[in-house]
Structure 1
Amino acid sequence: MDYVLSILPILLKGLKLSLTVYGIVIILIFPLAILAAVGKVSGPLIIKRILDLYTWIWRGTPLLLQLFFIYFGLPYFGINLPPLAAVIIAFTLNVAAYETEIIRAGIESIDKGQYEAAKALGMTYVQTMRRIIIPQTIRRVLPATCNEAILTFKDTALVAAIGMGDLLRSAKEVVTSDFKITAFFVAFVFYLIISSILLQVFTRLEKKYSIYE
C-alpha cells in the first residue's frame, strides 16, 4: 500500500493529462458532429460531398496514423503544432467523423411526418430541428454515443506515441523504473473507474431524454 501511495502522484499527473485531452475533445466534437450531420442530411450538394469525403477519410484511417500525420507530417508544410494542439485536432476530427454518422442516422430515423407537422404549425426548419428532431435524435443515438465516449477516453493512451505523459505512459515509466507492475494495475483501476462514471452519465441522459420517445 505504501508503494501505491508513493507512485500515485505520478499516475495522477498522467490521469490529469488524459482527462484534459478528453474533456476538450468532448466539448468540441458534439457541436461539430451535429452541424456536420445536419449538413449531410439537408445541406447543399457540395456541402454533402465535402462532408462525405471528411467522414470517409477520418473513419477509414487509423487514429494513430492521423495523429502522426498532424504532428510529424504538417511541419513539412510549414505548420508546426505543439503536442497538445495536435492531439486535440486529431482526436476531435476523428471522433467527430464517427459521431457525425451516428447522428445522421438518428436524424434520418425520425418519421418524415414530424417535419410536415412542424411546417404546418408554422415552424422554420431551424426551429423544427432544435425543438423536435434533435431532442429525439439525441435519445436514439445515446447508446452508440456512449460507446464512442468510452472508446475515446481509452484511446487517449495513444498520445504517448508523440511523447505526452498520459496515464498509461506514466504507468509504463514507473514499471520500467521500479521493475514492478503495480502501476499497471493502478492505471487499470483508473481507466475502469472513469469508464464506469461515463456509463452512469449516459444512463442518466437516456432516462432524461426518454420523454421524447
Structure 2
Amino acid sequence: MTLIDTFFNVDVFVGVFPALLRGVINTLLLGVLAICFGIPAGVVISLLRLYAPRPVRWLTIAFIDIFRAVPLLVVLILIYFALPFVGIRLSAWVSATLAFSLVMSAYSAEVFRSGIESIPKGQFEAAHALGLSFITTLRKIVLPQAIKLVIPPMTSNCVSMFKDTSLASAVALPELLKEANDAQAFFASPTPLIGAALIYLAFLWPMVRLVTYVEQRSKLQNSR
C-alpha cells in the first residue's frame, strides 16, 4: 500500500462522500444554532454583569468563569450523561446545542463586556443630560458602538465554535467527525478522516480569512 492508496484513496472517498456531506450539514447547523443562541444570551449576560444588582452580578461572574474554565467536552458530557441521573433526559442534538450555546454565551459575554466598558462614560452622562433613559442610552448609543468594536473577536469566536463542533461526536451526534470516524472503521482506511479534514479546511479557511479582513478593517477605521 502506498501513501496515496492509504490516505488519499479516491474510491473510498467517493464512497463516503454522501456520509461526509450529511456530517457537514449537521456541523454547520449545530454551529449556527450555538451562535444564534449564544451571542444574544452573551449580550444579556454582559449587561447583567455590568448593571444588575450585586447578587446578580456575582451569579453572572460565576457563570462566565465556570463555562470559560471548564472544557467544552466536559460540559457536553455532563449535560448528556449526568442529567439523566436527576431525571432530565436530552437528545444528542439538544445536549450539544445547549452545551455549545452555554459556552458561546460565556465567551460572548466577556467580549461584549469589554466592548461596552470601552465606551467613554461621558456618553452616558450626555445622554442622561438630554433626558434619555438608561435603556434607551444602551440601545441607541452604547450597544451600536460596542458591537462595532467586538465584531473582530466575535468573528474569531464563531470560527472556533465551528471547529469545536467536532466534540459533538462524543455524544454520537452525526456531525462531520463522527461520520468520518464511522467511515474509517467501516472501510479500515484513514481516507475518510483526511476527507473530513479537507472539508473542514474548505469551509473554515474562508472564515479565517474573513476574521483577518475584519480585524484589519477595524484597525484602519480606528486609526482614522
Give yes or no for TM over 0.5.
yes
Task: For residues 83-111 of structure 1, give each alpha carbon's deviation from its aligned partner in whole angstroms, at most 9, with x where no partner exists.
Answer: 11111111111111111111111111111
Q: Secondary structure at the match of 1:164?
A: coil
Contact residue 80 and residue 90 of structure 2 kept, 8 A: yes
Answering whether residue 155 of structure 2 is matched by residue 146 of structure 1, we say: yes
Identity of aligned residues (%): 31
Task: For residues 129-182 of structure 1, give each alpha carbon's deviation from its aligned partner in whole angstroms, at most 9, with x where no partner exists.
Answer: 112211211122122212211111111111111111110111122222223322
Q: Secondary structure at the match of 2:142?
A: helix
Answering whether residue 193 of structure 2 is matched by residue 184 of structure 1, we say: yes
Contact residue 12 and residue 187 of structure 2 kept, 8 A: no
One-letter code aligned to 1:103: F
Q: 1:99 is matched with which residue: 108, 127, 135? A: 108
Q: What is the correspondence of 1:39-50 to structure 2 with a 5 Å cutoff?
A: 39-50=48-59
Aligned length in residues? 213
> Which residue in the other structure is 2:77 paired with?
68
Answering whether residue 65 of structure 2 is matched by residue 56 of structure 1, we say: yes
> Which residue in the other structure is 2:99 paired with?
90
The range that moved more, 94-103 or 191-200, is: 191-200
Select the structure of larger CA radius of gyration.
Answer: 2
What do you get for the CA RMSD once the two structures are aligned? 2.3
Residue 183 of structure 1, CA deviation = 1.8
Task: For residues 21-47 of structure 1, give each alpha carbon's deviation from its aligned partner in whole angstroms, at most 9, with x where no partner exists.
Answer: 111111101110001101111111121
Q: 2:136 is matched with which residue: 115, 127, 130? A: 127
Segments ≥4 residues shifted beyond 6 Å: 210-213
> Which residue in the other structure is 1:78 paired with?
87
> Which residue in the other structure is 2:21 paired with?
12
Q: 1:171 is matched with which residue: 172, 180, 186? A: 180
Contact residue 40 and residue 51 of structure 1 kept, 8 A: yes
Contact residue 33 and residue 99 of structure 1 kept, 8 A: yes
> Which residue in the other structure is 2:126 paired with?
117
> Which residue in the other structure is 2:169 paired with?
160
CA distance 1:211–1:115, change in 2 (3 Å): farther
Q: Distance in 2 between matches of 1:6 and 1:72?
A: 33
One-letter code aligned to 2:110: E
Q: Distance in 2 between matches of 1:30 and 1:53?
A: 18
Q: 1:38 is matched with which residue: 16, 34, 47? A: 47
The range that moved more, 171-180 or 195-204, is: 195-204
Give TM-score scaled by structure 2 length: 0.86
Give TM-score scaled by structure 1 length: 0.90
Residue 70 of structure 1, CA deviation = 0.7
